[in-house]
Structure 1
Amino acid sequence: MPHHMLRAADRPKDAPKTIKFEGAPYGAAISFFAVVSDPGKRVGLHVHPYTETWIVQEGTVRFFAGKDLVEARPGDIMIVEPETPHGFENIGGDVLKMMCVHDSERIIQTFLDPDDA
């Protein structure tokens, strides 16, 4: 088949708001999370053996990357190098929406605090 279509209507009704996509089953060299995060929610520090890129679509986010704290808003793009400890938190009053693109056909992540996994 020369294409694949993953329809929103085919996702389970009780699926998480954030969509996780891994490219390997479809011959794609990338993976991603389409993040939908409520105010105050965070993802703890973790690492990947590849680059991760975020594109903020809605809301305000604080990224933790290495020793840096970086705030981002719609249209901003954040890139974190391989093996850099990073995470993020929705610091706005509205839902945060962003794409987290993983430069890998599979999502490989190791949380630094087991309670965050």
Structure 2
Amino acid sequence: MITVTSRSELTQSDSAPDPTAEPQDGTVLFEGRHHHSGVTFFWADTPPGSGPETHWHPYTETWAVIEGDVEISADGETLQAATGDIVTVTAGTVHRFWNTGAENLRMLCIHASPELIEHEVPQD
């Protein structure tokens, strides 16, 4: 079987972990279990100065930076990545990213799971 899902076909429930939340940017979620796929990914389109809250996943997450500059904090370490870089965050690693560029950050955030499992980390 082969299927094609265009970005415009993704539903609100595919667009944000909380289906009642309005998306704050152009990011959409492709959750594999809804599309006969073993992976989930965010097609991230994040404005300057923003990014998700600190969280972790019970599986590996791999980011392909398509366009832009990003700062990544993971388990107390901070690093920079830019267009063309690939970043891997291992299972259980507490992390977040932040768009540090002047334009939207475009990344493919690949989750090694057919469904999104995300655990938020309370901020002090």
Which TM-score band (shorter chain)? 0.7 to 0.9
Q: Distance in 1 between matches of 2:27 and 2:40?
A: 13
Q: Does 1:4 align with 2:13?
A: no
Question: What are structure 1's unaligned runs of at least 5 residues?
Answer: none
- Moved beyond 2 Å, runs of 4+: 7-12
The structure richer in strand per residue is 1
- String of CA shifts for 1:46-91, please: whole Å, max 9, x gaps: 0100000000011100001111101000010110111110000001
Q: Distance in 2 between matches of 1:58 and 1:105?
A: 25
Taking the TM superposition and a 5 Å limit, the aligned residue runs for 1:9-48 are 9-11=8-10, 16=23, 17-48=26-57
State the AA in 1 paired with 2:6. R
Match of 2:19 in 1: none
Match of 1:60 in 2: 69
Secondary structure at the counterpart of residue 24 of structure 1: helix
Q: Does 1:86 align with 2:85?
A: no
Match of 1:109 in 2: 118
Shift of the 40–51 alpha-carbon distance from structure 1 to 2, 3 Å rule, reads same
Question: What are structure 2's unaligned runs of at least 5 residues?
Answer: 16-22
Deviation at residue 44 of structure 1 after TM alignment:
1.5
Q: Distance in 2 between matches of 1:61 and 1:9?
A: 26
Shift of the 7–108 alpha-carbon distance from structure 1 to 2, 3 Å rule, reads same
Paired residues, number: 111
Higher relative contact order (CA 8 A, sep 6+): 1
Q: Does 1:76 align with 2:75?
A: no
TM-score scaled to structure 2, two decimals?
0.83
